[in-house]
Structure 1
């Protein structure tokens, strides 16, 4: 079986908008299966229930009869197909939050998130006030080869004006992508140029990486960040792990924060690289035994011995939780961060006759110790969707003692440590959210994309200087001044964000780091971004501290004595 946790809106892939810093939990594609988990077994014809076929048949006939009456006799003209789609969605909400129906028109977009590549021009973009702005051209892609630069503003695509035309992200996404070998023409405004520039390029296959970055934090500590478990994730991970090992890596930080899941077999293969012997990684339990399964480690992995820290947070879900739970249950890794999302339901995708898809919950998955990490949904979908907000209100993001687990859901790891089921994976080391990053003023700046936009302006202003220095020199000498922060505040005021000097002072350190990191990304690439961002990354700093002082060995080995 091939199990997967479905897609959220595309994030760090090219020819789509650059991802904001905050996890967007409830967007339209969530109805297409965000944060779900399923079994890819292909089409499945309709079968009446073996348990109660008469009730199933009566319900089907009743719905058909009502829809026929509405279509024929209702006072206004209606779209019967839209009504049936709506009814199906409401029906599934009565079951659980992750059984979903995906209309045929959304199926291709829903599937794109887990693809390992696509055809397009290869640019990451953002919409700043109805202007398509290039955040970064993908390395080796058609746009980069044609000479497109970060900060360029796309005025027209294939002769059609897209600047100030109120296009949506998805519409721009569709215009930049196209069949491999097709031509694309971009009309671009570039700072310092008297007139727009025209670029012609041929669309090509673009890698859609899910390993965001892999580099050495120091001479012996590797860092790998995985944004989702897509088709090519395991291969990307193996390449990154091998490269870091050859570079002298002795210990590793695996970052699964904000990872909503993906193909579960890629996740279990990744976990197998860390777990020695033949030990259980995950098992599923459904109605009867049709959908019961067990997955064990089976290969000699490349990193079964070295110290390992896994970073998780409330954005880590589904397949990410399977990896984190398995490594914690086997005392293989120290988990650092905050309680994970709590998604432990398995869906079966069923292709319907019109090309739409039903993803129906058919099992729950459990960690090796027996934990079911699916959080409660007994109060309905609306309450379920507000769970993360409620966690913040209860103080869970800031105080570990605000998190309570039922005593009857207590489990033991291989070495006897206590862990809990019933709602996500609780890390071994809790790290609260930075209260400065929760500043309302900062949140508004980020929500309007003003931080990214201003960073691109800084990059453009200093492009020639940045070309003359190395990334290491940049990290030492580049500083965001008070005057530049005030310029950002002035720019924000023009967009309706009122001046707030006290709030600006409180979040100044975070803002400086964010701006510097985005400038580094434009000038030197993703690795440079993360190298700067680590200065304000509390979870990563805690992980490094645990590796340096031997906390990983102490925490994971103490219970065995």
Structure 2
């Protein structure tokens, strides 16, 4: 994607030196995709001709074009446009972008905490990162970032590097966003305070009752498996007999962390996932190999349209081996494997080299046409419009892609993992008034002020006593509404009443986080999830399904038909 031209364009010597480095990615890709590339055949000849032609054109532009040009910029733009002709997940990052992207999984950073994608020169929020300012403010998946600190963030010139530069900054500094949201005319303004974005990937781990444990995993980073083992061990010491593993909104990450997690729940040496590519060097089978910490006991996995890639590996393996009951909605369908290839100048090519398949043989990847990323990126919107989020009857299976689990249960391929128990998205309490409260941080700021003003009384409570007995009073709601009015949010009584149960729960959850959660050193947000899960229709349905999960573990499949 085109970047802004610097005031002092790069001169010939640097461009000439850098050109062979960047263009060598064509040959590097060839080396990765097969040894036959260098057998003297047509593929090598075509690539060499293409390299020569591109170099010739670029040098002619550099030396003869009427105006000064930034050759590095032209090369980067050309690479981006070339890769658009491939699959939706092959990507190129310049050195700055590559460093920032890796930090999402490998180290912390200061910013507002979102995962984003750029489609058609528009920045879309994939998911707000757990524990970050964006999540607390109510930024949602699918939101469009239109302006940052009054600088337009859409149209030609939008790049990953530009987004990182605008959103990241010194901890404690303010960043103002103007966000577009489906169904909201005119957009929404947010004022966020940058913070250290936590690297923790296990968001919650607590006992629901004396037997049921709950673990929420938000992504698969370099520390996920260790965090998961620690959480699982803690729950086992507390009497764990039944497990809910929540992978909703988990965009994926490192495959080996996902398979290691699945191995803790699956016995023997069963197949967990396999990959298949054009080159057999990228074909790989991963099997269970250890005595896991929880190989016996019913398991329920929560999934939705935000569960992708590594999340789908875990869900698919557990479903195919009849080890877990899946509850929720169809997963994203990202089953293409990218190899990160660091280029000589620090930039990075993430090249798709193979596909993921579940143990039964299902491809995780949803359909796509090469070069038609726009259509691919509209898939989640199409699901919404077709009613898939709200009715299982709206989901159409490809009857030619039928597979069987170990217990001969019928499952379907064709993109994503379909849960065993469908639960619709609950929008019954949504309203414009609620979104405006989120957008302007009214609930968060009120909860923080409430904790500061009532710390003496809160200090006398245990969190369990708070969870069992604390009520958000009418006086608290009145004060919150007054805060909203001062911020320019007009009260709509009908919308307030519609959203009130969720406003009460959000307020209580944040009071719990600010009073007890910020004293934690383990990165868990148990206080929030223990409050909000009481309002979560998918979680509540899961609690009702342990009979089926127990039958599944015993090999009794009649209750699942």
TM-score normalised by structure 1 residue count: 0.75
Q: Distance in 1 between matches of 2:488 and 2:55?
A: 51
Partner of 1:470: 462
Name the SS for the 2:428 alignment partner.
helix
Shift of 1:119: 8.5
Report deviation, 1:171. 6.5
Structure 1 residue ranges without an equivalent (≥5): 1-43, 127-134, 138-149, 152-163, 177-185, 189-204
Does 1:63 find its partner at 2:54? yes
**Which residue of structure 2 aligns with residue 129 of structure 1?**
none
* Correspondence for 1:546: 545
Instruction: Tell me the alpha carbon deviations over residues 97-145 of structure 1, each in whole angstroms, 9 at most, x when there is no partner.
Output: 1000011012221111212x5589xx9999xxxxxxxx989xxxxxxxx
Q: Does 1:239 align with 2:230?
A: yes
* 1:435 partner SS: coil
Deviates more, 1:409-418 or 1:73-82: 73-82
SS at structure 2 position matched to 1:300:
coil
How far is the alpha carbon of 1:207 from its aligned partner? 7.6
Aligned-pair CA distance for 1:206: 10
The correspondence for 1:415, drawn from 407, 417, 442, is 407
Residues 64 and 482 of structure 1, relative CA distance in 2, 3 Å threshold:
farther
Query: Residue 389 and residue 481 in structure 1: after superposition, are their counterparts in 2 closer, same or farther (change >3 A)?
Result: farther
Shift of 1:265: 0.7
Residue 329 of structure 2 corresponds to which residue in structure 1? 338
- Structure-2 residue corresponding to 1:33: none
- The residue that corresponds to 2:536 in the other structure is 537
Q: State the shift of 1:478 in Å.
A: 2.7
Q: State the shift of 1:360 in Å.
A: 0.4
- Match of residue 556 from structure 2: 558
1:45 to partner: Cα distance? 4.7
Instruction: Evaluate the alpha carbon distance shift between residue 485 and residue 383 of structure 1 in structure 2; reply closer, same or farther with a 3 A threshold.
Output: farther
- Tell me, yes or no, if the aligned pair for 1:416 and 1:560 is still in contact at 8 Å: no
- Partners of 1:173 and 1:271 in 2: how far apart? 34
Partner of 2:391: 399
Q: Residues 305-350 of structure 1, C-alpha deviation per residue, up to 9 Å, x if partnerless?
A: 1010011111111000000000000000000111111000001111
1:110-149 residue pairs with structure 2 within 5 A? 110-115=101-106, 118=108
Aligned to 2:84: 93
Q: Deviations over 1:395-451 (max 9, x none)?
A: 111111111110001111111111111111011111111122543442343244433
Corresponding residue for residue 434 of structure 2: 442
Query: SS state of the match for residue 216, structure 2?
Result: strand
Of 45, 59, 66, which aligns to 1:54?
45
2:170 is the alignment partner of 1:175:
yes
> Per-residue deviation at 1:496?
5.2
3-state DSSP of counterpart to 2:170: helix
After superposition, give the CA deviation of every residue in 1:493-527 in whole Å (9 maximum; x if it has no partner): 55554433212211111111111111111111121
Relative distance call for 1:555 and 1:272 in structure 2 (3 A) is: closer
Residues 67-88 of structure 1: per-residue CA shift (max 9 Å, x gap): 3333334444332212221221
Candidates 371, 390, 393, aligned match of 2:382: 390
Query: Partners of 1:299 and 1:473 in 2: how far apart?
Result: 40
Q: Is the 8 A contact 2:308 2:332 kept in 1?
A: yes
- State the Cα deviation string for residues 272-304 of structure 1 (Å, max 9, x = none): 111111111000000041211101111111111
CA contact (8 A) 2:93 2:347 kept: yes
> Where do 5+ consecutive residues of structure 2 fail to align?
1-26, 32-36, 115-129, 138-148, 152-161, 175-195, 518-524
- Equivalent position of 1:363 in the other structure: 354
The CA deviation string for residues 245-275 of structure 1, in whole angstroms up to 9 with x for no partner, is: 1111111111111111111111101101111
Equivalence map 1:479-558=2 (5 Å): 479-493=471-485, 495=487, 497-525=489-517, 526-547=525-546, 550-555=547-552, 557-558=555-556
* 1:374 Cα offset (Å): 0.5
CA deviation string 1:464-515 (max 9, x = no partner): 3222222122223332334544544454455554433212211111111111
Once the two structures are superposed, the pairs formed by residues 276-287 of structure 1 within 5 Å of their partners are: 276-287=267-278
> Is this contact kept in 2: 1:261–1:316, CA < 8 A?
yes
Contact 1:416 1:559 in 2 (8 A): no
Tell me whether 453-462 or 285-294 shows the greater mean CA deviation. Answer: 453-462
- Give a deviation string over 1:25-69, Cα, whole Å, max 9, x none: xxxxxxxxxxxxxxxxxxx95657445112212222222233333
- Aligned partner (choices 280, 292, 301) of residue 292 of structure 2: 301
CA distance in 2, matches of 1:169, 1:487: 36
* Paired position in structure 2 for 1:461: 453
- Work out the CA distance in 2 between the residues paired with 1:261 and 1:478: 36
CA distance in 2, matches of 1:62, 1:487: 68
CA-atom RMSD in angstroms: 3.3
TM-score (norm 2): 0.75
Do the aligned residues in 2 keep the contact of 1:348 with 1:362 (CA within 8 Å)? Answer: yes
Distance 1:114 1:472 in 2: 33
SS at match of 1:451: helix
Structure 1 outlier segments of 4+, above 6 Å:
123-126, 164-169
Q: Distance in 1 between matches of 2:455 and 2:150?
A: 29
Q: 1:119 to 1:392 in 2, by over 3 A?
A: closer
2:215 to 201, 224, 248: 224
- Matched with 1:160 is none
Separation of aligned partners in 2, 1:136 and 1:224: 16
